[in-house]
Copies of this chain bind each other. A is one copy, B any other.
């Protein structure tokens, strides 16, 4: 159970922990299999006992990111704010905030093509969970009556597109000409999401 200097005990988790740390410290281009092996004090080929290749490790890392996102959005829901519209806005804000706090991780999460069904089920599921959390916040937040002819899922996609776009642009520094501080960006994001919610009820058609 203690480390016996040969078998590590829980290398898989250790690799992911080190990976997360290295990811934000050095960026995704500094995240190598061998660096991870070094960071966990293990030989350079040892990680391959736990991940078939680098892509699989990155997928597992991205899945962690999605899990964290889902968790954060879930925490907002659990906070039981009195106003569901306020809850929705806080969720959107939290989404953007998380992306700005861990930009390399955020990029990694969306960097790969969405994994097919059989491909990376862990990642796909984690991504879905995060999306569902956002969808839930939106569904509760919008005026209860305004379902219109637009599916809830489509409305959630609209919100997702908005917060994703803002997060990505913020990360790459392209929002800086208008809003320098993270707080300003968050305020902008919140306004946009509010606008979206009020507009989503009627104006859209199809699906």
Given contacts A195-B204, A200-B195, contact A165 B161 (CB under 8 A): yes
* Interchain CA distance A176-B114 in the complex, whole Å: 10
Interface check A194, CB cutoff 8 A: yes
A168: chain B residues at CB < 8 Å are 110, 164-165, 168
Give the residues from 142 to 157 in chain A that come closer than 8 angstroms, CB to CB, to chain B.
Answer: 151, 153-154, 157
Give the residues from 181 to 207 in chain A that come closer than 8 angstroms, CB to CB, to chain B.
Answer: 184, 187-188, 191-192, 194-196, 198-200, 203-207
A174: chain B residues at CB < 8 Å are 110, 114, 127, 131, 160
Interface check A118, CB cutoff 8 A: no
A162: chain B residues at CB < 8 Å are 161-162, 165
Give the residues from 111 to 153 in chain A that come closer than 8 angstroms, CB to CB, to chain B.
Answer: 112-114, 127, 131, 151, 153
Interface check A36, CB cutoff 8 A: no
How many chain A residues touch the partner (CB < 8 A)?
44
A153: chain B residues at CB < 8 Å are 177-178
Q: Are B207 and A203 in contact (CB under 8 A)?
A: no
Instruction: Determine the residue in chain B with the shortest Cβ distance to A191.
Output: B204
Q: Are B188 and A154 in contact (CB under 8 A)?
A: yes
Q: Are A206 and B192 in contact (CB under 8 A)?
A: no
Q: Are B169 and A191 in contact (CB under 8 A)?
A: no
Question: What are 19 inter-chain pairs, A to B, with CB distance below 8 A?
Answer: A110-B174, A112-B172, A158-B188, A160-B169, A161-B165, A161-B169, A164-B165, A164-B169, A165-B166, A179-B207, A188-B206, A188-B207, A191-B205, A192-B204, A194-B203, A195-B196, A195-B199, A195-B200, A196-B199
